[in-house]
Structure 1
Amino acid sequence: PLFFRISATDWLEEDGWTADETVRLAALLQEHGVDLLDVSTGGLAPRVKIPTGPGYQVPFAARVKAETTLPVAAVGLITEPEQAEKILANGEADAVLLGRELLRDPYWARRAAAELGAEPRIPGQYQRAW
């Protein structure tokens, strides 16, 4: 599958990239064979104020999902298993992708399985580590 990561906004109030443009681009990307849009946001412009908080980028993924047929992934301070599960259950995204959270907690997937009542399937060659 071909994933494409996009900043749905660069948070600039003037002359910036907007969520409207992201929705239009998503349709074009799908026409060109993209299978999933990884919806993030920018954060490199020095003069922007980014309203961060748990799941702060999820609304951008939800909008693209609502306005296109391209599957989307949500990112952005998704740190808790129940939070990730809720994003999927509410239909805000088709997938949740983790980055920095896996650096903070490399056992996140194992913890998520335990908290959500799933039995993790550990490959045989790794079972002796658990």
Structure 2
Amino acid sequence: MRDTVGDELPVLVRFSATDWADDGWDAEQTAKVAGWAQAAGADFFDISSGGLVGGVRIPLGPGYQVPFAEQIGADADVPVSAVGLITTPQQADAVIRDGRADAVMLGRELLRDPHFPLRAARELGVDLDYWPPQYLRARPR
């Protein structure tokens, strides 16, 4: 992949850190493969989990996949993003500030609230120097 895209573009890899199956794929195996991928030229790792094996129980809760990102980032010494029911600006901010991941990726929360990044910046006291032009009149003062 690195040879194909060159050095100008980042290579991001999304991993399922576990399949939640007894004796199945786990975070230790994911960390090992992440190290190999980094050695082959990958730059960044988005850590998710599950959805691969039927009949497993996934313990859903706020930030339930963040520990996987934290573990894989530490074990493989690679930059990672966290996902998994990250739904508030404060929660996302804490993941980064606490050093649990290098970035937070949002999926369903952006489907529910496409303006989440703008709202998060406001709630966290960040004054953005960019707002889409069509939203400038609605920008909080």
| TM-score tier after normalising by the smaller chain length | over 0.9
Query: For residue 43 of structure 1, what is the aligned residue in structure 2?
Result: 51
Paired with 1:101 and 1:123, the residues of 2 have a C-alpha distance of 20
1:32 is the counterpart of 2:45? no
Q: Which runs of 5+ in 2 are unaligned?
A: 1-9
- Structure 1 runs (4+) greater than 4 angstroms displaced: none
Root mean square deviation of aligned Cα: 1.4
Structure 1 counterpart of 2:61, from 28, 34, 53? 53
Identity %: 50
Correspondence list, 1:1-130, <5 A: 1-14=10-23, 16-123=24-131, 125-128=133-136, 130=138
Distance in 2 (alpha carbons) for counterparts of 1:124 and 1:101: 20
Q: State TM-score, norm by structure 2.
A: 0.85
Q: SS of 2:63's equivalent?
A: coil
Task: Quote the Cα distance in structure 2 between the aligned partners of 1:103 and 1:124.
Answer: 18
Q: Distance in 2 between matches of 1:71 and 1:44?
A: 24
Counterpart code for 1:12: A
- Length-normalised TM-score, structure 1: 0.92
Quote the offset at 1:45 in angstroms.
Answer: 2.1
Name the stretch that deviates more: 39-48 or 106-115: 39-48
